[in-house]
Amino acid sequence: MRGAKSQAGFSVLDGLYKVEYGVNDAFGRSIMCMHNGKLLGGNSAFAHLGTYRRNGDEIAAELITERHNADTQYYKPLMGTDVAAIKAVGKASSTGIRFEGEAAPVPGALFWANFTRLDDEGLPPRGDVGPGGIVNGLYSIHIRTLDGIDGGLSGVMLLIDGRILGGDAFFYYLGCYSSADGRWKGEIVNQEHTPAKDENPVFGGHEVGIGFSGTCSAQGAELEAIALAGKRSLRLTATLKLMRKA
């Protein structure tokens, strides 16, 4: 995802980040991909969709956070609403970016976000995408374990030209895929960016390798997969829904 610095200053910032953010006493965590002036990310319940631009040493960002998980009992909105507009200005350091600004649902309160870069240099080679292949964009993903095992994940997944980046409040995904004629297949490595054993005992504490195949359309995709979590082999299914094209 990274490369030489472009005239717009985008590529030096481009990559995958762990994000910790808050407003008043509320605190949240997610992942975010910065890519060619776009901010695309989220967590288990909300997608983050926005843009950024360089103004000298500052980075101006605007985004919308939008619910993608229907479970409103467990996943409460950070700012009391399922859709929130945020404007912030950030400065980059050697390890990440610190943003400060305001969120529309809580006028007058300071919104802050710390972006910490994750290691995405281990991305596998891009897969081939042909006619009828899955659309580039940010997707919500809801994973279910099979065979009577109580577990699963929900989060967001960014698909760009045969590569996969994504995650949630505890995990991040790196992978690749090939797609054409309404089918797709690929592989993902699911890793922790924040300890998750207490939150998700099935996947927490493990680097999980996943191989998958399934169908795709202009609106989303389905897949079936085998995951290797430690010494356990798990069968999974997942549903992806397109949130925004990239």
- Per-residue pLDDT band for 12 (boundaries 50, 70, 90) equals low
Whether residue 107 sits in one domain with residue 24: yes
Whether residue 165 sits in one domain with residue 92: no
The pTM of this model reads: 0.91
- pLDDT value of residue 6: 39
* Last-in-domain residue among 68, 85, 117: 117
Q: Are 79 and 21 in contact (CB under 8 A)?
A: no
Alpha carbon separation from 58 to 31, 91, 151, 203 (Å, rounded): 21, 5, 42, 38
In a domain, 65, yes or no: yes
In a domain, 55, yes or no: yes
* Last-in-domain residue among 88, 117, 146: 117
Write the DSSP assignment of 98-167 as a string of letters.
EEEEEETTSTTSPEEEEEEE---TTPPPPPPB-TTPPPSEEEEEEEEE-TT---EEEEEEEEETTEEEEE
Which of 70, 68, 77, 215 lies closest to 155 in space, CA to CA?
A: 68
In a domain, 3, yes or no: no
In a domain, 127, yes or no: no
Whether residue 144 sits in one domain with residue 234: yes
What is the average per-residue pLDDT within 111-134? 91
Whether residue 66 sits in one domain with residue 106: yes
Residues 6+ away with beta carbon under 8 Å from 232: none
Which of 122, 162, 139, 99 lies closest to 2 in space, CA to CA?
A: 122
Whether residue 237 sits in one domain with residue 143: yes
How many domains does the chain contain in total?
2
Calpha distance 109→117 (Å, rounded):
26
pLDDT over 60 (residue 4): no
- Per-residue pLDDT band for 213 (boundaries 50, 70, 90) equals very high
Which of 187, 185, 186 lies closest to 214 in space, CA to CA?
A: 185
Whether residue 179 sits in one domain with residue 112: no
Average pLDDT, rounded, for the chain: 91
CATH code, domain with 82: 2.40.128.380
In a domain, 128, yes or no: no
Range of the domain at 25: 15-117
- Per-residue pLDDT band for 5 (boundaries 50, 70, 90) equals very low
In a domain, 230, yes or no: yes
- pLDDT value of residue 197: 78
Whether residue 142 sits in one domain with residue 237: yes
At position 50, the amino acid (one-letter code) is G
